[in-house]
Amino acid sequence: MTTPRSPKRTMSMPVIAATTAALPAVVLSSLALAQPSVATPAPQPRKIPATLAAAMKAQAVNVGSVIPAQAVATTLPAALRPMAPSVPDSYTVVRGDTISAIARRFNLDTTAVLQLNKLSATTLIYPGQTIKLKGMAAAAPAQPAPPAPSAPSTATVYTVVSGDTLGAIAAKHGVTLSNIFSWNGLNGSSIIYPGQKIKVSGGSAPSAPAAPAPAPAPAPLAGTGSYTIKAGDTLSSIASRHGVSLAALMAANNNVTATTVIYPGQKLTIPGAGVQPVGETKPLVPSTFLGFTYPPAVVSSANENKALLNASPVPSRAEMKSIVADTARRMGVSPSLALAFAEQESGFDQRAVSPANAIGTMQVIPSSGQWASDLVGRKLNLLDPYDNATAGVAIIRTLIATSKDLDTAIAGYYQGQYSVSKYGMYDDTKRYVESIKARQRTFG
Contact in structure between 276 and 226 (CB atoms under 8 Å) = yes
Q: From the CB of residue 85, how many other CB atoms can be counted at a distance below 10 Å? A: 9
Q: Tell me which DSSP letter residue 364 carries.
A: B
Cα end-to-end span (Å), the chain:
22
pLDDT in tens, 244-266: 777 778 888 887 877 777 877 78
> Between residues 214 and 58, which one has the greater pLDDT?
58
Residue with the bigger pLDDT between 274 and 283: it is: 283
Regarding predicted confidence, which is higher, 34 or 248?
A: 248
What's the rounded Cα separation, in Å, for the pair 26 and 3? Answer: 12
Q: What is the pLDDT at residue 317?
A: 93
Distance CA 262, CA 275 (A): 20
Give pLDDT tens digits for 188-235: 666 777 778 888 887 654 444 444 444 444 444 444 678 888 877 777
Q: CA–CA separation, 314 vs 295, rounded Å?
A: 28
How does the average pLDDT of the chain come out, rounded?
A: 75
Residue 338 sits at φ, ψ, to 5 deg, of -60, -40
Q: By CB neighbour count within 10 A (0-12 exposed, 13-18 middle, 19+ buried), where does 377 fall? A: exposed
Share of the chain above pLDDT 90, in %: 28
Bridge partners, 197 (sequence order): 159
Residue 82 has pLDDT above 80, yes or no: no
DSSP-derived letter for residue 219 is: P
Q: What's the pLDDT at 191? A: 73
Higher confidence at residue 25 or residue 297? 297
CA dihedral angle for residue 322, residue 325, residue 326, residue 328, rounded to 10 degrees: 160
Residues 6+ apart with CB under 8 A from 312: 124, 126, 383
Candidate from 47-51, 155-159, 349-353 with smallest mean pLDDT: 47-51
Which pLDDT band, with edges at 50, 70 and 90, does 11 fall under? very low
Listed in sequence order, the residues at least 6 apart from 109 whose beta carbon sits closer than 8 Å to its beta carbon are: 103, 136, 137, 139, 178
The yes-or-no verdict on residue 410 having pLDDT over 70 is: yes
Q: Is the pLDDT of residue 106 over 70?
A: yes
**45 — pLDDT class (breaks 50, 70, 90):** low
Q: Spell out a b/e string for 52-84, using b for 16 or more CB atoms within 10 Å of the CB, else e.
A: bbebebeeeeeeeeeeeeeeeebbeeeeeeeee
Helix (H, G, I), strand (E, B) or coil at 389: helix
Most confident stretch, 11-20, 47-56, 297-306: 297-306
- So what's the pLDDT on residue 433? 96
Which among 180, 174, 175, 113 has a CA at the least distance from the CA of 142? 180
Top-confidence residue, 277 or 116: 116
Alpha-carbon span 339 to 440, nearest angstrom:
7
| Sequence-distant (≥ 6) Cβ neighbours of residue 175 within 8 angstroms | 200, 201
289 pLDDT band, cuts 50/70/90, is: confident
| Calpha distance 246→265 (Å, rounded) | 20
Residue type, 419: S
- Is the pTM higher than 0.85? The answer reads no
**Is 254 within 8 Å of 215 (Cβ atoms)?**
yes
Per-residue pLDDT, averaged over 261-280, amounts to: 66
Give the burial class of 388: count Cβ atoms within 10 A of its Cβ; 0-12 exposed, 13-18 middle, 19 or more buried: buried
* Residue 345 pLDDT: 94
The residues that bridge with 115 in the sheet, in sequence order, are: none
Pairing of strands 130-132, 90-92: antiparallel
CB 339 within 8 A of CB 321: yes
Per DSSP, the residues of 125-193 read --TT-EEE--SSPBPPPP-PPPPPPSSPPBPPEEE--TT--HHHHHHHTT--HHHHHHHHT--TT----
Residue 13, pLDDT score:
41
At residue 340, the pLDDT reads 96
Q: Over 80: is that where the pLDDT of 2 sits?
A: no
Residue 59: per-residue pLDDT: 56
Q: List the Cα angle 11/14/17 in 5-degree steps.
A: 65
Contact between residue 395 and residue 368 where contact means Cβ atoms under 8 Å apart: yes
Which pLDDT value is given to residue 380? Answer: 93
